[in-house]
Amino acid sequence: MTDGPEYGFDTLQIHAGARPDPATGARQVPIYQTTAYVFRDADHAAALFNLQEVGYIYSRLTNPTVAALQERVATMEGGVGAVCCSSGHAAQIMALFPLMGPGKNIVVSTRLYGGTVTQFSQTIKRFGWSATFVDFDDLDAVKAAIDDDTRAVFCESIANPGGYITDLDAISAISDAAGIPLIVDNTSATPYLCRPIEHGATLVVHSLTKYLTGNGTVMGGCVVDSGKFDWTANDKFPSLSEPEPAYHGLKFAETFGPLAFTFHGIAIGLRDLGMTLNPQAAHYTLMGIETLSLRMQKHVENAMEIAAWLETHDAVEAVTYAGLPSSPYNHRVEKICPKGAGALFTVALKGGYDACTKFVDSLEIFSHVANLGDTRSLVIHSASTTHRQLTLEQQVAAGAAPNVVRISIGTEDPADLKADLNKALNAV
């Protein structure tokens, strides 16, 4: 099918990027389990290697199954192109790589997935990059943190795990004024609930591992390009605006226009960093995405019911779910994620750290795992696991204080989930 804005989300999640297989007519996207592709002749091979012709060379760069997924996610996000890679964390590096260089920094929200806090506060230093962590509700602080060496602003749409919704319009106004891109991690919301590009995001990153695949089977990541950023408007992005020595002086922005970032991501990023998504994983994710809207509706419905009920439970001190009227972020739902605030939230228990560990050990339907966004309901005590490497101050800022448990509500029967939670809370 030809993809177009005339198709609704439920249609695009099944059809975007997928055409009957040209060789066999196969209706489902085949798993192209191949490493390499035969060149028509020597001229064809040379043209492909020179980026003069687009085609398949080697599956570290491109693969037809992965390409179908890239087109599907890009279409659902309203972007012009996407680069899939091996995990959500790989996607974050792939998003930053063309923008950054030694001595450059990013301004990032304090409210991020725990692994992202570690990647940004520790690991990227090895590349000579740094991150400045700021409270993104304090717009003056965000502005003040941006300096001449800042190359991007980074946040999550619905931040994992604390039920925090970022005012993307306000943040993108700041990044626009500074002439730098806004990168939004849309993992917790998915394009069904939130479309960051419509709120000014330049790039959208995903952990495909979560809701997009949806059932906890494979790892994957994706960077979607809005195609809207002018990389030549200032001299901050030489990888995209200046001649590229690895391609005989080709300028990505000049040659590929709005697709400059996507082509760079494949031709330089995947080629040289090698964080490639495999076609099997792309297949599982394509299968998952076909039912994304159906699952997200049920996730949100269940989350609303269970969060509201938990808020009234005697053992519970607080529930941070933006879908609840009690949340300070409830007023942003309508603007940023009108179909719902997702299905991830945290519960603070009156009994503190020990009550939390007892609680997670007492659950039966809920699994205690380091994952989220599964059809199965999941729970984790962040302070003793995913956020363990952070300081107490960082834990609190990230919504993962010692008395807090993160809950990822699945698509099971809500009465069963409530009964399981009730039994475990009463055991605390």
Binding site for ligand PLP (CB under 6 A): 87-89, 113, 115-116, 156, 160, 185, 187-188, 207, 209-210, 219, 221, 372
- The set of residues, in sequence order, having a beta carbon less than 8 Å from that of 258 and lying 6+ positions away, is 80, 225, 227, 228
Nearest to 345, CA basis, from 385, 377, 390, 369: 377
Which residue minimizes CB distance to ligand PLP?
88
Q: How far is the CB of 190 from ligand PLP (least distance, A)?
A: 11
- Distances in Å between the Cα of 75 and the Cα atoms of 66, 78, 103, 257, 374 are 14, 5, 34, 18, 23
Q: How far is the CB of 357 from ligand PLP (least distance, A)?
A: 22
Are 356 and 385 in contact by the 8 Å Cβ rule? The answer is no
Q: How far is the CB of 132 from ligand PLP (least distance, A)?
A: 19
Q: How far is the CB of 115 from ligand PLP (least distance, A)?
A: 5
**Identity of the residue, 72 or 206, whose beta carbon is nearer to ligand PLP in the bound complex:** 206
- Beta-carbon-side half-sphere exposure of residue 47 (alpha carbons within 13 Å): 11
Quickly count: other Cβ atoms within 10 Å of residue 74's Cβ: 28
**Identity of the residue, 87 or 262, whose beta carbon is nearer to ligand PLP in the bound complex:** 87
**Identity of the residue, 144 or 370, whose beta carbon is nearer to ligand PLP in the bound complex:** 370
In the sheet where 182-185 sits, what is the strand order? Answer: 81-85, 221-225, 203-207, 182-185, 150-156, 105-109, 130-134
Q: How far is the CB of 210 from ligand PLP (least distance, A)?
A: 5
Are 223 and 255 in contact by the 8 Å Cβ rule? The answer is no
**Identity of the residue, 220 or 279, whose beta carbon is nearer to ligand PLP in the bound complex:** 220
Instruction: Please tell me what DSSP assigns to residue 244.
Output: B
The residue behind tokens 């994706």 is 222
β-pairing, 344-349 vs 316-320, is antiparallel
Q: How far is the CB of 270 from ligand PLP (least distance, A)?
A: 16
Nearest to 73, CA basis, from 196, 176, 223: 223
The two three-digit tokens of residue 107, written as one number: 């301004």
How far apart are the C-alpha atoms of 93 and 120, rounded to whole Å? 10
**Identity of the residue, 259 or 275, whose beta carbon is nearer to ligand PLP in the bound complex:** 275
Q: How far is the CB of 412 from ligand PLP (least distance, A)?
A: 20
**Identity of the residue, 48 or 221, whose beta carbon is nearer to ligand PLP in the bound complex:** 221
The residue behind tokens 């809005």 is 226
**Identity of the residue, 193 or 253, whose beta carbon is nearer to ligand PLP in the bound complex:** 193
Q: How far is the CB of 88 from ligand PLP (least distance, A)?
A: 2
The residue behind tokens 């999640």 is 13
- The set of residues, in sequence order, having a beta carbon less than 8 Å from that of 267 and lying 6+ positions away, is 51, 61, 247
**Identity of the residue, 219 or 270, whose beta carbon is nearer to ligand PLP in the bound complex:** 219
Q: How far is the CB of 119 from ligand PLP (least distance, A)?
A: 9
**Identity of the residue, 14 or 369, whose beta carbon is nearer to ligand PLP in the bound complex:** 369
In total, the chain counts a number of residues equal to 428
Exposed / middle / buried, residue 39 (Cβ in 10 Å: 0-12, 13-18, 19+): middle
